[in-house]
């Protein structure tokens, strides 16, 4: 979905699900391109696969000093696009797992704080009888996140805003990756509501980015605080069609806004260009710009989803989505305890995508033309050399990174993959060479 953008400059574009072009589009953030534009329809990329049940490859360019993600994001060194030096999950202070808590440890003992009068009514199954009492109990676990970027001359300006969910009393907060990605500073507004008066006091905290994963659109922030109200992460597998759900977030900058609806669909897939996606909950509860990263609550006051998108279409109303919390938990745990999502295989090369069309124009072999090999990964010990063109992976013809990503999607680090390359010999003749490459683990760098 869209973030609230202070500059009102439409910094986002539609995200297209895998369906006919005349169908609705899914809202997805657009990133600035600048230096990421490369010559003659050839994109410089580093090939890795999906993993942990989630998809989408990363594209990392070494041309023009830019870093490019498959969903169009980029960061350049010329100052035209913001780049948080700690925005990559493996580059923040997460190089060591020592003293890093797990999600289970953070959630241990967390209970819903019923900041409601004693006469609050509950149903026989323990769920809240009235939405107003549920909201009073959980609203302080939802935060307002402002993000800032530095532009020319290091001048800082507000870029947008979103929502977040407190998951520990000492300040761990989950949100969407597209809320915080490529930003330079994060300010979190935490509200503490007086249970009697109903008035709230807002405290502002500078936040540290612990980890961010664009494949799953999840991120973790941390503020230095104690005694915050933590949300309880529930079990999204218990949801049934028609269940009542409540969304709390900050649409259009309107802090602590509440909307209510039902579960309209389960196991919805929000597809990326690698044709793998997150399992999501569909709801008709109102979702708008700024709700990104907020919570979808069940009627027990438990978080069952992380709100991240809505359907934007002339003929569509009330079709919003939230990442299922059960699938999100593994990602959140990795981001907190390690700093990146584990188990994703990486081939470890930088290459140019050469299509049939470009190959015919440029006189190149269609495939993935190798421009660099990561000497710190297992691929360095293979027969692959710079100048080779990968034409097949596991006997499947490839000309794009997304095609390789699909092949690697069900593999894991340490697996061997067969690669066929076209190599030019000393006499200028093309010859095919086939060998195996051991996949390494992608660590976000």
Q: Could you give the CA distance from residue 126 to residue 148 in angstroms, rounded to a whole number?
A: 42
Q: Which residues of the chain are under the pLDDT cut of 50? A: 1-2, 4-95, 272-276
> 3-class DSSP state for residue 370?
strand
Identified catalytic residue from 61, 178, 236, 443: 178
Active site residue 217: yes
Give tens-digit pLDDT for 5-31.
Answer: 444 433 333 332 323 334 444 444 333
Task: Report the pLDDT value the prediction gives residue 387, as an integer from 0 to 100.
Answer: 93
Active site residue 61: no
Sign of CA dihedral 385, 77, 405, 209: positive
Task: Report the pLDDT value the prediction gives residue 42, as an integer from 0 to 100.
Answer: 36
Task: Report the pLDDT value the prediction gives residue 22, as an integer from 0 to 100.
Answer: 42
Within 8 A by CB and 6+ apart from 62, the residues are 44, 350, 371, 372
Identified catalytic residue from 292, 382, 440, 443: 292
Active site residue 82: no
Give tens-digit pLDDT for 169-197.
Answer: 999 999 999 999 889 999 999 998 876 66
Q: Could you give the CA distance from residue 302 to residue 246 in angstroms, rounded to a whole number?
A: 10
Give tens-digit pLDDT for 252-304.
Answer: 888 889 999 999 989 888 654 444 456 899 999 999 888 999 999 999 999 99
What are the structural domains of the chain? 33-81+343-441 (2.30.42.10), 103-337 (2.40.10.120)
Task: Report the pLDDT value the prediction gives residue 53, as an integer from 0 to 100.
Answer: 23
CB 199, CB 140: distance < 8 Å? no
Task: Report the pLDDT value the prediction gives residue 365, as an integer from 0 to 100.
Answer: 93
């Amino acid at each position: 979905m869209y973030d609230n953008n202070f500059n009102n400059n439409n910094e986002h574009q539609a995200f297209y699900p895998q369906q006919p072009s005349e169908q609705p589009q899914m809202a997805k953030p657009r990133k600035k391109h600048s230096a990421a534009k490369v010559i003659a329809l050839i994109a410089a990329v580093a090939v890795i696969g999906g993993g942990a049940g989630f998809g989408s490859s990363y594209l990392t360019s070494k041309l023009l000093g830019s870093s490019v993600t498959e969903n169009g994001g980029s960061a350049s060194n010329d100052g035209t696009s913001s780049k948080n030096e700690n925005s990559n999950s493996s580059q923040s202070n997460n190089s060591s797992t020592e003293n890093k808590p797990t999600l289970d440890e953070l959630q241990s003992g967390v209970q819903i704080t019923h900041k409601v009068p004693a006469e609050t009514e509950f149903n026989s199954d323990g769920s809240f009888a009235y939405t107003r009492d549920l909201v009073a109990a959980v609203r302080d676990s939802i935060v307002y996140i402002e993000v800032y970027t530095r532009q020319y001359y290091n001048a800082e300006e507000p870029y947008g805003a979103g929502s977040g969910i407190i998951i520990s009393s000492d300040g761990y907060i989950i949100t969407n990756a597209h809320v915080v990605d490529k930003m330079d500073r994060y300010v979190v507004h935490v509200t503490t509501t007086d249970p009697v008066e109903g008035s709230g006091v807002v405290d502002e905290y500078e936040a540290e980015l612990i980890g961010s994963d664009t494949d799953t659109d999840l991120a973790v922030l941390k503020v230095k605080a104690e005694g915050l109200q933590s949300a309880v992460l529930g079990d999204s597998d218990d949801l049934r069609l028609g269940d009542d759900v409540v969304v709390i977030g900050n649409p259009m900058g309107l802090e602590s806004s509440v909307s209510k609806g039902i579960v309209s669909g389960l196991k919805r897939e929000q597809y990326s260009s690698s044709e793998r996606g997150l399992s999501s909950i569909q709801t008709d509860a109102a979702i708008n710009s700024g709700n990104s990263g907020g919570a979808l609550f069940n009627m027990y006051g438990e978080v069952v989803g992380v709100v991240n998108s809505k359907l934007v279409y002339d003929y569509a109303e009330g079709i919003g989505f939230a990442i299922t919390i059960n699938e999100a938990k593994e990602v959140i745990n990795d981001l907190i305890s390690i700093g990146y999502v584990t188990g994703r295989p990486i081939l470890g090369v930088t290459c140019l995508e050469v299509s049939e069309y470009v190959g015919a124009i440029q006189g190149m072999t269609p495939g993935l033309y190798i421009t660099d090999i990561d000497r710190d990964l297992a691929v360095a010990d293979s027969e692959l050399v710079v100048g080779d063109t990968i034409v097949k992976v596991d006997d499947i013809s490839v000309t794009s990174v997304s095609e390789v990503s699909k092949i690697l999607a069900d593999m894991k680090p340490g697996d061997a993959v067969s690669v066929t390359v076209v190599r030019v010999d000393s006499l200028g003749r093309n010859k095919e060479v086939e060998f195996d490459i051991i996949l390494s683990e992608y660590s976000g760098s």
